[in-house]
Structure 1
Amino acid sequence: MSNRRLPVYLALDTSGSMRGEPIAAVNVGLHALLASLRQNPFALESVSLSVITFDREVIEVLPMTPLDQVTLPEIVCPESGPTFLGAALHDICDKVARDVRKSTADERGDWRPMLFIMTDGKPSDTLAFEEAIPRVKAAQFAAIIACAAGPKSVPDQLKLLTHIVVSLDTMDSSGFASFFQWVSSAVTAGSASVGAAGMALPPPPAEVNLVL
């Protein structure tokens, strides 16, 4: 019998504006996230991780992989380019339908997945983004957490997807480190409370502002 997994999807903006320090900070933050999760026995037992990047292309840089087998690739950005968040969300909904095992009469399926979105701008593909919103809501994520990073991000658009939107004022390594540390806490809370009626998210750190 296969273990029940907690599938966690990370959707990361790699548009041109993320070049330089921001994407370097994201890479550092991802490695810290992985190290932190691996220290938690609940997470190690249940979490599988998938990383999707979006700029003018949507790329699955890490297919859904059990935590103990994850090798993180180096996330890179093009010189310039749009932010196809809508296309990324459609792609993730396709992956949820494909990856997440449903319960059957003989076997319990996976836990409801979690989705984390990080973007420093607004969707360039507005129509695709609007069309993705009902699909994302229908995918029955246990939690959707969106991070609006930096001064050009638009938290109000992310609020169309989820009521849990946080903002980062600075796109440096300490800001992203705080965000990914919080992601780790949220995933750990999710892996510890799977099967419980609801999932209580930890309060964000000082650098991460909850958008009300």
Structure 2
Amino acid sequence: MEQRPFGEGIVDDQPAFGTNSFAENPEPRVPCVLILDVSSSMAGDPIKQLNDGLICYKDELTADSLASKRVEVSVVTFGSEVNTVVDYTTSEGFFPPKLEANGLTYMGQAVNQAIDSLEARKQEYKNAGISYYRPWIFLITDGAPNDSNWEQAAQRAVEGDKAKSFSMYCVGVEGADFETLAKFCVLEPLKLQGLRFRDLFLWLSSSQQSVSRSTPGDEVPLENPTVGDGWATASV
């Protein structure tokens, strides 16, 4: 798995605090958007395990004194509707939603909404003089997109990743269309082992803790989740 030099994505602006929240917490930010499939095929144990994984993710971020100040989480869900159910917040304000599965798979619209929100958030950082690391987008699905704009969204995701505007990760649950999912990311999409959402979010939190402790220009090695008893396997 390619090791991302997240640290080189940090902005070197000096803090000039423009909002109360940034004034109270001027730490550089690691923004992360979780794009989560809540279509009807996720009903039952998959959505339950996903919900449990989100709770674990919050707990792990909160337990790390630096990551709790630096990692900002946003959650975008998609079924027949696309909703931002958690806007950018550090772990203190992150209350994992109880997701319910229903509807179709409007993945393209969700990816566009996530990228739009990241661009807006980065502008808010710049306006407030807050430095930030290269953002993460984490897409999790068990299906294939069935909205009309998904190919444009996939191209936008790949171009943004190549331009280092963000790092795009795609994870497929059993039943996912990996050939289509691969169109959304530069790196090969990963296949979740069973329903190991908890292990996935433990890895995500641990990786972001490492990034949050790095300094500008550092290359941060990430543990390969396909090695040993990792939570993922290669999709091909």
1:100-139 residue pairs with structure 2 within 5 A? 100-101=122-123, 107-125=129-147, 127-136=148-157, 137-138=159-160
Give 4+ residue runs of structure 1 displaced > 6 Å after superposition: none
Please report how far the alpha carbon of residue 182 of structure 1 lies from its aligned counterpart in structure 2 after TM superposition. Answer: 1.7
Structure-1 residue corresponding to 2:216:
195
What runs of 5+ residues in structure 2 fail to find an aligned partner?
Answer: 1-16
Q: Which deviates the most, 198-207 or 180-189? A: 198-207
Higher relative contact order (CA 8 A, sep 6+): 2
1:43-58 residue pairs with structure 2 within 5 A? 43-58=67-82
Measure, in 1, the Cα distance between the counterparts of 2:62 and 2:192: 25
The answer (yes or no) to whether the contact 1:8–1:48 under 8 Å persists in 2 is yes
Measure, in 2, the Cα distance between the counterparts of 1:82 and 1:105: 38
Give aligned pairs, total. Answer: 205
The answer (yes or no) to whether the contact 2:139–2:169 under 8 Å persists in 1 is yes
Structure-2 residue corresponding to 1:35:
59
Residues 38 and 179 of structure 1, relative CA distance in 2, 3 Å threshold: same
Structure-1 residue corresponding to 2:232:
208
Residues 182 and 105 of structure 1, relative CA distance in 2, 3 Å threshold: closer
1:134-173 residue pairs with structure 2 within 5 A? 134-136=155-157, 137-138=159-160, 140-150=164-174, 152-162=175-185, 163-171=187-195
Match of 2:189, SS state, is strand
Please report how far the alpha carbon of residue 75 of structure 1 lies from its aligned counterpart in structure 2 after TM superposition. Answer: 1.0
Residues 211 and 70 of structure 1, relative CA distance in 2, 3 Å threshold: same
| TM-score (norm: length of structure 1) | 0.86
Residues 146 and 106 of structure 1, relative CA distance in 2, 3 Å threshold: closer
What runs of 5+ residues in structure 1 fail to find an aligned partner?
Answer: none
The answer (yes or no) to whether the contact 2:160–2:166 under 8 Å persists in 1 is no
Residues 107 and 206 of structure 1, relative CA distance in 2, 3 Å threshold: closer
| TM-score (norm: length of structure 2) | 0.78
